[in-house]
Structures are given as structure tokens and as C-alpha cells.
Amino acid sequence: MNAATDPPNDDVEFFDEVEASDIADTIHAPDDTVVQPTVIEVPQEALDDTRKYIIGVGLVATAALIWSFGHLTFRMISITDPWQMMGYRWFLVLPFMLGMIMASHGRKTDKAIIGGGWPVVVTGLLLAGSSIFYVLAISYTTIANVLFMIAAAPMFAALLARIILGESVRLATLLSFPFVLLGMGIMIGDSIGGGSLAGNLIGLASSLCYAAFSVTIRLRPEADTRTSAIYASLLVCACGLILMGMDPIPLTDLFWLMLGGVWQLGLGYMIFTMGAKYVPAVQLLLLGMLETVCAPLWLWLFFGEVPRDLVLVGGGIVLATVAVQAMMGARRKPLGMLRPR
């Protein structure tokens, strides 16, 4: 038909008569009833929680990346006594962390150290226990066995966080556990197995301490949890002093130990405690997996130690799992949506 004989189009006439602003404010449902849309506003507190979560994830991931450089400093050290390495590194953490706390609290430093109460003390002891048990475990079993047990720490943390903090674990987080274990299993491959029962049990103790640490560090978010590093340093140094050998340490080794203690352990832990207030305990440990995954990459980049293909495949699985978890966690509080009223 031509335009002159076409019947009038009611829809065209209707839209000609309605202003664009009216169209934006009105939605016609199929039954011709008018539905007024509304934007459901999320409280400012929820928006702030989401921002804090994103910041926390960034801080914890940064800390894990800093820790991953520790393997580079180990390559530069000639001493082989693990107790010497651990004892000196943690001894150097002590003045660094005290200096940072004094810079923040001034004359109230003593109150800041004591004010956290037993949760901060326990956090420090658990952190020290995880390190001490790790060194003991690798003396009696393979490193691969210990790493695989530490990869199971998020599962232990999920149970402890539910009991102690009342933190529920999302289904997506639970589903991520098999992928993390799969990735770690591929990375360390056929190295798993062997070792003594005692060594494997000590490795399990290290994993349990690590899981409990991720929970207790969130018990007092208002406290300065950096102070927990002081208690950890005192315990590790005491064990190191008792168990380490008395062989002299070259000055170059002292330099690398100082770098590892102050920059890698001290700065990394300080950043970690800042982010731990805003990230659930289970995701703290999932993000911490970045340390294990990235360490082979730095050795490849700086020392030419080409990792096996399976290391890259397994590391990619863990990285992807951690990234998905972080993004899904940021979306757990929607920023608002358009719904009909």
C-alpha cells in the first residue's frame, strides 16, 4: 500500500503524542497496565563493604606476590641451614615491624602491642608455628608433600571460619577447592608421595596452623594486627637460636637475609594484615596461593630455571581459580538493579 491509503497506525500516533521523558518514565506491560520501574538503591554501607573488599583483595594479592620473591633471595644465599635462614630473617622482621608500629602509634606503642589481646598473640604464635612446622616437615618428607598439604589449608579454614567467626562459605568457593588441589597436584606432579609418616603429619600441622592463622587474624579487625608479627618473631628466633648451627655467615648472606626479612617478610606481612580485615578467611588463603604459583616464574625470569610444562599448566589453573574467586567475591553485594514495582 502507499502512504495515502495506509490505515492510521495507532502506535505511531501514540508515540508522537508522548514526550521522550514520559517514555523513559513509563513501561507498558503486556496486559496494558502501566508499571513504574524503580532503582533499588543499595545502602551506602554495602557499597563501602564492596570497595573495602576490592581494596583488601588487592593488598593481600600484593603481599603474596612480595612473598613469592623469597625464593630469589634463597638462591643468593650460600648457607644451607634452614634454621639459620629462618632465624635471621625473622630476627630482622622484629625491628622493622616495631619501627612501623612506633611510627603509627608513637608513645602508645606499648598499648597497641598489648591492646590486641589474646587473639593477636595467638595469631602470632600460629604464624610462627606454621613456619616452624614447615621447616621441620621438609626435613622428614618431600617439599611436594608439604606444599600439597598447605594447598588444603583453605578447606580447613572454611570449617574453622564457620565455627569461630560464623563466616559462611559460598558454594562457588567450595567448588574452587578441587580446582586448587588439581592445579597444585599438576604442578608438583609425580613428586608427591614418599617421605616419613612423621614428616607428613608435621606438614599437616603446618597447614592447620596456616588455616587457623587466617581465621584468628580476623577476630579483632579494630586492633593493629601487625603486632602479631612481634610475637611470631620472638618464637621463631627462640627456636632458631636453639636449633641452628653456629657456622659463621658471610656478609653477602647477611645482606640477602636482611633483604628477605625486612622487605619480603616484614613489608609483605604488613600489607597482608591491612587487607586481611576486609577479605574472608578462606579467600585469604586462596589469594596466598599466588606465592607458590608465581615463585617458579621469577626463577625462570631471573635465573633461567625453565619450569616444566606441568608447572605452568597447574599454576594457570590455580591462578584462574583465584582470579574467578576474587571477582565473584566483589559481586556478592550487587550495586543496584532495575526492577518493576
Distance between CA atoms of residues 333 and 341, nearest Å: 21
The residues, any chain, with a CB within 8 Å of residue 5's CB and separated by 6 or more, are: none
Number of domains in the chain: 1
Lowest mean pLDDT among 50-59, 115-124, 139-148, 223-232: 139-148
Of 68, 99, 103, 73, which is closest to residue 88 (Cα–Cα)? 73
- Whole-model pTM? 0.78
Displacement of CA 237 from its chain's centroid (Å): 25
Q: How far apart are CA 138 and CA 10, in angstroms?
A: 81
Domain that holds residue 108: 52-330
In a domain, 45, yes or no: no
Q: What is the Cα–Cα distance from 99 to 94, expressed in whole angstroms?
A: 9
| Domain contains 38 | no
- Answer yes or no: is 77 within a domain: yes
Predicted local confidence at residue 230, as pLDDT: 93
On whether residue 71 sits in a domain, the answer given is yes
pLDDT given at position 330: 66
Q: Which amino acid is at 218?
A: R
Give domain status of residue 23, yes or no.
no
What's residue 213's pLDDT? 95
pLDDT computed for residue 332 by the predictor: 57
In a domain, 8, yes or no: no
DSSP for 212-232 reads: HHHHHTTS-TTS-GGGHHHHH
Is 34 part of any domain?
no
Cell of 97: 615491624
Instruction: Collect all residues with Cβ–Cβ distance below 8 Å to 286 and sequence separation of at least 6.
Output: 154, 173, 176, 180, 321, 322, 325
Q: Does residue 7 form part of some domain?
A: no
pLDDT tens track for 194-219? 667 888 899 899 999 999 999 999 99
Residues 233, 94: Cα–Cα separation, whole Å: 6
Other CB atoms within 10 Å distance of the CB of residue 6: 8
- 291-324 pLDDT, tens digit per residue, is 888 988 888 888 888 888 888 898 899 989 988 8
